[in-house]
Structure 1
Amino acid sequence: MTNKQYSSKWHRFPELLAIAIFGDISTLAFGPKLRNLVYRQIFAHMGNSVFIQHGVEFINAASMEICDGVHLFKGVRLDAKGHPNNKIYLADGVAIERNVDIGCLEDTCIHIDIETFIGPDVCIAGPGDIKIGKRCMIAAHSGIYANNHNFTDTTRPMKDQGVTSKGIVIEDDCWLGHGVTVLDGVTIGQGSVIGAGAVVNKNIPAFSVAVGAPARVIRSRNAKDLINTQV
């Protein structure tokens, strides 16, 4: 083991100890309060009135900022390992439901803005930067992937050819339905609605309703004939 690897493991020891001892305490009133008290020592920043349910996993918590009123439910995994510049930022009032996996790779910033809701079993992955705006709703089983595997060399396994990454932006007040996939390089404009099961592989203008695989804009939310459209 190199000195750098040894130092990295030793630096993470307080985080591992805190999570191992306090991460699975499930008593409704006592557990979250005790976790908050201890976890303040391992995060870059932890705000007030944070609720962290038992069974939440953090990797490299020193690169994470958890702001006021954030809720993290059982099975959430936040992984900021892999690069000293990695950062995960959860703004005020963010709620992340069960079994959500948020992971950085190399030189990644994942920023989720105020009062955004992430539904169960969502996956959000770098290495490209990912910015999710204010008061968005991301429904269950969606995937937001800021990377793309290289595959042009047929003489080498694809896993050995590396990845490209451009980043993803989901602007304020967007609603992504169940099972939406957002691919690298995409910007979804403010106030847009993406229908269940859609695959977003190109930019979506603001206040659009888009459906399908690949996703296509079917109308604007400003249209006079838009009445209770189901997505």
Structure 2
Amino acid sequence: MLSIITNKKIWVLYSYIIKLILKLYGIDVGKRFYIEGTPQIKIKGKASNISLGNNISIFGSIDLRNRENGKIIIEDNVKLDNNVRLVAARDGMIKIGQDSSIGPHTIINGGGNVIIGKKVIFSKNISINANEHNFKKSNNISDQGFVYKDIVIKDDVFLGANVSINKGVVLGEGSVIGANAVVTKDTEPYSINVGIPSKKISERL
């Protein structure tokens, strides 16, 4: 039984069926779509605002959510590991660039734009938030709404395990962010950054 479940031909057939279902929803799906899990789609906006490019590979479950005018764009040759959640809201766009790899248990919360460049690598348990609760003392936090700022992750960036990226941050091209770091400020191109909050400790040679 296990050999049947893990047979690549079975997953290819399954992927074709899932692709047809996604297209029936109104989602744009490119050529050579491949998935080894269950997609969860929660659309409170326009299904046509979700676009999956060519040669997308998903190795596990994926959770795609959009509301208002939120957009999710995954470009060609992107790989996504198990249990990735993408939430695009308001007029925000989540865009993952070509040849990037997104590790397991990644959560990207939009509201603002989250623009990820080409050949970017995420390790596991990455948290990216282009929004944040207001937390003035005068009112309950739950009643105050959110602040939104864009996040840009440029080409050739590497994020180690358990990294958190806060709203309004730009990660310069080629940046490396060490495991468990919390990034609250922009990083320089080809810099190596670690800690809470993250600080530059070196540069790529």
TM more than 0.5: yes
Matches within 5 A, 1:55-204: 55-60=38-43, 61-81=47-67, 83=68, 85-154=69-138, 156-204=139-187
Give % identity. 32
User: Where in structure 2 are there 5+ consecutive unaligned residues?
Assistant: 1-9
Q: Is the 8 A contact 2:70 2:111 kept in 1?
A: no
Q: Is the 8 A contact 2:116 2:154 kept in 1?
A: yes
Deviations 1:39-94 (A, max 9, x none): 2232442110011333111222332010000112322101012x1x2110000011
Q: Residue type matched to 2:48 in 1?
A: A
Closer, same or farther: CA 28–52 of 1 in aligned 2, 3 Å: closer
Q: Residue type matched to 1:76 in 2?
A: I
Task: Give the length in aligned residue pairs.
Answer: 193
Q: CA deviation at 1:35?
A: 1.7
- TM-score, normalised relative to structure 2: 0.89
1:209 maps to 192
Q: CA deviation at 1:32?
A: 1.2
1:52 maps to 35
Distance in structure 2 (CA, Å) of the matches to 1:29 and 1:113: 24
Greater Cα shift, 159-168 or 44-53: 44-53
Matches within 5 A, 1:15-30: 27-30=10-13
Deviations 1:161-201 (A, max 9, x none): 01111110000000000000000000000001000000000
- TM-score, normalised relative to structure 1: 0.80
Give the CA RMSD over aligned residues.
1.3
Between structure 1 and structure 2, the one with the greater Rg is 1
User: Where in structure 1 are there 5+ consecutive unaligned residues?
Assistant: 1-26, 223-231
SS in 1 for 2:16: helix
Q: Is the 8 A contact 1:36 1:52 kept in 2?
A: no
Q: Residue type matched to 1:133 in 2?
A: G
1:220 maps to 203
Distance in structure 2 (CA, Å) of the matches to 1:56 and 1:34: 12
Question: Is the counterpart of residue 33 in structure 1 residue 19 in structure 2?
Answer: no
Closer, same or farther: CA 97–195 of 1 in aligned 2, 3 Å: same
